[in-house]
Amino acid sequence: MAVQWPIVLFKLLAGGGAGLLGFAGLAALLSHEASRPWLARVNFAAAITSLVLVAAGGACVLLQVAKPAQIMAVVRNISSGSPISLEFLAFAVTLAAGVIFLLASRVGGGETAGEAGGGSAVGVAAGETGVAGAAAAGEAGEVGGGMAVKIAAVLAIAAALFMGFMTGYSHMAMPGTTAWHTPAIPVAFLASALLLGGFLYLLLLGLIRGRAAVGGDAAAAAAAARTPSRDIALVKIIAISLAALAALTIIAAVVYGLFAPLGDFAIAFWLLVPVIGGAGSLVAAILDWRRPASSWAMLGLVAALIGACVLRVTLWLANTGISPLLRG
């Protein structure tokens, strides 16, 4: 059975990108005022990366359709409620949520305000480099943009859940392919997409906070230096969330594996999806929870990527349920 690679790539990129956006939203909701300058940088980078990944996934779909110029027909038919229409809606919602989160992070996250404070005459006159300016402008940002960030964060989380679920639901809802008729598919797709996004977020967080701590932006470095315990708490919360998602991935993958006629692909599925993708991610998340380090996040990302990719490929490599009577 030929694998539909453009579809697989769409589900991986758009799902993972949405997961990254969701975790950026979660971090924005959980963040403390003192960590705003550097966290805004992380969330800005996460939103940009997420948008690139989701858009790249959408571009892959153009490789699947034979007449890309006709793709707007999907928009005109969006009210049909077909599974693909809903998936397209999720794609559009995720892009919109990403842009909103990006803008809100810039306006209300404090980082922009900190930059403005540090660079302006007012900021310099007010205090030492940009730190005081960041604090002052951060407070102003909290009043003016803090709520916007929170709302954008909730939207980002909702979009991530919607996108991740729909990438699997569009398979489950296809009546003609009986091997896809299980809710384990959308659950597994959702959990594995969030896993990808979560580990990617941890990597970005470690990379950007690390740079801030060793002396990049003065305001961000000062804020990062002041908030190690809160940073660690945030990482731990994300790591615990990832451990829970890894457990959910294992359960959903096992349910799907028992439901679908895996045939010759069974060994590869069981080894690569629940064991490597699920248990591997679970171990990495627990290690990151116990002792946060980018290396654990990288390990988790690789494991989650392997599991997510093989899970999606399995839909075509396993027996799809077509009757032998209809085979050529």
Partner 1 sequence: MAKRTLVIDLDRCSGCDSCVVACKFENGIGLGNYYNHVKPINPAGKHPDINMYWLPIQCQQCENSPCVAACPTGASYRDPDNNVVLIDKETCTGCKTCLAACPYSDPTGAVRPSVRWFNEELGVMEKCTLCNHLTATSDGVENTEDTTDAAHAVPPCVHNCSCGARSFGDLDDPASGASKVLAAAEAAGRGIHTIEAEGVTPACKYILSAEIADWRGLGE
Q: Smallest gap, in angstroms, from Cβ of residue 79 to partner 1?
A: 10
Q: In this structure, how many other beta carbons lie within 10 angstroms of the beta carbon of residue 326? A: 6
- Candidates 56, 124, 158, 181; binder of partner 1 (CB under 8 A) is 181
| Residue 180 in contact with partner 1, rule: CB under 8 A | yes
| Residue 291 in contact with partner 1, rule: CB under 8 A | no
- Candidates 44, 88, 91, 162; binder of partner 1 (CB under 8 A) is 88
Q: How far apart are CA 222 and CA 60, in angstroms?
A: 42
Residues 233-252 that bind partner 1 (CB under 8 A): none
CB 120 within 8 A of CB 133: yes
| Residue 178 in contact with partner 1, rule: CB under 8 A | yes
| Residue 169 in contact with partner 1, rule: CB under 8 A | no
| Residue 324 in contact with partner 1, rule: CB under 8 A | yes
| Residue 259 in contact with partner 1, rule: CB under 8 A | no
CB 219 within 8 A of CB 129: yes
Contact window for partner 1 (CB under 8 A) among 11-19, 113-121, 166-174, 257-265: 166-174
Contact letters for partner 1, residues 195-214 (x by CB under 8 A): --------------------
Residue nearer to partner 1 on the CB measure, 177 or 294: 177
- Candidates 5, 259, 270, 316; binder of partner 1 (CB under 8 A) is 316
Residue nearer to partner 1 on the CB measure, 48 or 174: 174
- The set of residues, in sequence order, having a beta carbon less than 8 Å from that of 238 and lying 6+ positions away, is 23, 26, 27, 198, 201, 202, 205
Residue nearer to partner 1 on the CB measure, 86 or 285: 86
| Residue 319 in contact with partner 1, rule: CB under 8 A | no
Residue nearer to partner 1 on the CB measure, 137 or 260: 260
Q: Smallest gap, in angstroms, from Cβ of residue 328 to partner 1?
A: 5
Q: Smallest gap, in angstroms, from Cβ of residue 228 to partner 1?
A: 49
Residues 52-81 that bind partner 1 (CB under 8 A): 64-68, 70-71, 73-74, 76-77, 80
- Candidates 32, 48, 52, 85; binder of partner 1 (CB under 8 A) is 85
Binding site for partner 1 (CB under 8 A): 1-2, 4, 64-68, 70-71, 73-74, 76-77, 80, 82-85, 88, 171, 173-178, 180-181, 316, 320, 322-328
